[in-house]
Structure 1
Amino acid sequence: MQDHVGIAGMGTYLPKRYLSAKELASLIGIDEKVIVEKFGIKGKYVPAEDDTTSHMGIMAAREAIKNARIDPEEIDVVIWNGAQHKDYPCWLACTKVAHEISAKRAWAFDMEAMCGSMIVGLQVARSIMLSERNVNTVLLVSGYRNVDLVNHSYKPTSFMFDIGASGAAVVLRKNLGQNVLLGVSSIVDGSFAEDCIVPVGGTKKWPMKPEDLDEYYFHLVDPESFKERLNSVTLKNFYSVIDDALMKSGFSRKDISYLAILHFKRSAHLEVLAELGLREDQSFYLEDYGHMGQNDQIFSLQEGLKRGRIKDGDVIVLVGAGVGWTWNAAVLRWGKMRQPIMW
């Protein structure tokens, strides 16, 4: 049997604080109905003071380890694929995670592909596991609280008003025999690299001045141009990575059983389902969570399993995208292996 990598366990974490659509509408200064119907959220989780980025990842990691029924000392590698906005600037979260969960044998590193990081992390982890004979168990860990960098009074980034906070983690095992990761595909377009940025705090504007603190949030350099250009390519690129990941897995759109897709506005979610020929119950709309970056796909998988929307043998497509700009898709065959592995 060809070597393969499967998902052995998943874990998530949510802060206790919940910001309802009514509260968000009051904060932004628009009608609650617009928040629910257009933005597509009934509310979102926001971090308390002790919900640091690493803490949320650590809590999710502990749940994933418990779900996988493994000892932390079985973990060979810890990969932090959470947000760059971490507890401290210029800091490794992976070593903190490994220490806190007692993964005493593991080596570790941080990686980042913005909100595509969970899907890219799956591909990176699998590549390491299949190329290194002594790497059999990898833990992907993500904490996400980029909501700190969203100014709700700055209307040009209104597409980010759905952003919340959470943690997510995945335990991967070599030759697990179930929940197998198949094809993965990514596209990037660097023409968007400096369109949506936090304009202060980096080396392009250093040292910081006291007044820079007032600008420490996401800005759009040219809002009208950005939206026009992104709208012209984003759905096309979503479909491109989905089709490519399916092709690499030996499948096509007609084989999709469940779509674990990032949270974005309701109309776009429904448009993607229609394009792929899927019913609404073949996905899960994260309206009670909002957009939690790279964690969205794991929350969607958990909801799909809990609600009986995912069954053994199902072909699952994970879909994400990240500022910068990147589009990503991965295919899973859920349940026990039924056919030779292809990618």
Structure 2
Amino acid sequence: MQEHVGIAGIGTYLPRKYLQAEELEKLTSIPADVLVEKFGIKRKYIPSESETTSFMGIMAAKEAIDNAKINPEEIDVVIWNGAQHKDYPCWLACTKVAHEIGAKRAWAFDMEAMCGSMIVGLQVARALMLAEKDINTVLLVSGYRNVDLVNHKCKHTSFMLDIGASGSAVVLKKNLGKNVLFGVSSIVDGSFSEDCVVPVGGTKRWPIQAEDLTEYYFQIPQPESFKSRLNEVTLKNFYFVIDDALRRSNLSRKDISYLAILHFKRSAHLEVLKELGLREDQTTYLENYGHMGQNDQVFSIKEGLLSGKIKDGDNIVLVGAGVGWTWNAAVVRWGKLY
């Protein structure tokens, strides 16, 4: 059998607190029925002070390790592919994770592709594992609480109202013989790189001033131009990475069994299903979670397994996108590889 990398275990974590649509209505002045039907948010999770970005990733990592039935000391590399918005600025989350889970043999690093980070992380981890003979087990860990950086009153970033918090993790093993990662595809469009940013706290506006605290949230300097330009390319780019990942897997759209796609507005979700020729029972719409960044795909797979939507032999297509802008897709063949 050709060398390959498979998913040995997955883990997730949700904060204890969540906001229902009726509570979100009070924050946004958008009617609850609009939040549910248009934005696709029945509820989203909000972290407490103690549920830091790394904490949520660590909790998910522990579950993934249990799910994979491995000893943490088997892990060769820990890759933090969670959010940049971490416990501290200019800080490595990966070493904290490795220490807390007992991965005593592992080396580690942080990587970032915004909400495409889980899919890019899969590709980076596989490349490392197949290139280095002594790397056999890799842990991908993500915590996400960019909800801290969303101003619920800001009209121009209303597409971010679905953002919530969570953690996710994936254990990968070389030549596992099941749940094999096939084709991966990513594209970027840097013309959007400064269209949606937190305008303060970085080196472009340094040092931080007291008044900057009121501006510390995602903003769009030219909202009308941004919306028009993004609408022209985003679905086209989603379809490109999906088709490219399938092509790299020697598959086509008709071979998709389950779509593990990020959460976005309901109309866009349904449009993607229609374009791909998929039924609603071939995916999970994350309306009870909202958008959790790069964690969405892991939560979707977990929901798919629990509901019986994902079975052995199924081709799962993971789909994500990140501010900046990046579009990403990957194919996993679930079950034993014969």
Q: Does 2:58 match 1:58?
A: yes
Matched, 1:88 2:88: yes
- Match of 2:184, SS state, is strand
In structure 1, C-alpha distance between the alignment counterparts of 2:278 and 2:271, rounded to whole Å:
10
For 2:266, the aligned partner's letter is R
Verify: 1:172 aligned to 2:146, yes or no.
no
Shift of 1:223: 0.3
Return the offset for 1:330.
0.1
State the TM-score, normalized to the length of structure 1: 0.98
Equivalent position SS for 2:207 = coil
Q: Which residue of 1 aligns with 2:306?
A: 306
| Aligned 1:139-218 pairs, distance under 5 A | 139-218=139-218
The answer to whether 1:230 aligns with 2:230 is yes
Alignment partners' CA distance in 2, 1:118 and 1:29: 33
Aligned-CA RMSD value = 0.3
- Give the Cα–Cα distance (whole angstroms) in 2 for the partners of residues 213 and 30 of structure 1: 25
Say which SS state the counterpart of residue 184 (structure 1) adopts: strand
Matches within 5 A, 1:44-123: 44-123=44-123
User: Following the alignment from structure 1 to structure 2, what is the Cα–Cα distance between the partners of residues 303 and 154?
Assistant: 32
Deviation of 1:232 after TM superposition, in Å, equals 0.4
Q: Which residue of 2 aligns with 1:37?
A: 37
- What are the residue-to-residue correspondences of 1:235-314 with 2, within 5 Å? 235-314=235-314
Quick one: distance in 2 between partners of 1:149 and 1:41?
A: 18
1:330 maps to a residue whose letter is A
Partners of 2:337 and 2:126 lie apart in 1 by 17
Q: CA deviation at 1:30?
A: 1.6
21-30 vs 283-292, which moves further: 21-30
Q: What CA deviation, in whole Å up to 9, does each residue of 1:82-104 have, x standing for no partner?
A: 00000000000000000000000
In 1, Cα distance between equivalents of 2:168 and 2:277: 29
Q: Which residue of 2 aligns with 1:341?
A: none
For 2:185 and 2:107, locate their aligned partners in 1 and report how far apart those are by CA, in whole Å. 26
Query: Hey, what does 2:21 align to over in structure 1?
Result: 21
The unaligned stretches of length 5 or more in structure 1 are: 339-343
Which amino acid letter does the alignment assign opposite residue 181 of structure 1? L
Partner Cα separation in structure 1 for residue 71 and residue 188 of structure 2: 37
1:283-309: CA deviations, max 9, x gaps? Answer: 000000000000000000000000000
Matches of 1:127 and 1:27 in 2, distance apart? 44
- Pairwise CA distance, 1:167: 0.1
Q: Could you say what secondary structure the match of 1:33 adopts?
A: helix
TM score, norm. by length of structure 2: 1.00
The alpha-carbon deviation at position 106 of structure 1 amounts to: 0.1
Quick one: distance in 2 between partners of 1:332 and 1:217? 35
**Corresponding letter in the other structure for 1:94:** C
Residue-by-residue CA offset, 1:1-45 (whole Å, 9 max, x unaligned): 210000000000000001000000111012111100000010100
Is 2:136 the partner of 1:136? Answer: yes
CA distance in 1, matches of 2:149, 2:41: 19
- Partners in 2 of 1:211 and 1:204 — Cα distance? 16
User: Percent identity, aligned pairs only?
Assistant: 79
**Amino acid aligned to 1:296:** D
Deviations 1:197-233 (A, max 9, x none): 0000000000010000100000001000000000000
Distance in structure 1 (CA, Å) of the matches to 2:51 and 2:22:
23
Instruction: Show structure 1 runs of 4+ deviating over 3 A.
Output: none
The 2-side partners of 1:236 and 1:153 are apart by 30
- For 2:236, the aligned partner's letter is K
The corresponding residue for 2:319 is 319
Q: Which amino acid aligns with 1:308?
A: G
Q: In structure 2, what residue type is equivalent to 1:158?
A: S
Tell me the CA shift for residue 274 of structure 1: 0.4
Count of residues paired in the alignment: 338
Residue identity matched to 1:242: I
Distance in 2 (alpha carbons) for counterparts of 1:51 and 1:231 = 35
Paired residue type of 1:283: T
Distance apart, 1:176 and its partner CA: 0.1
How far apart are the structure 1 equivalents of 2:114 and 2:32? 29
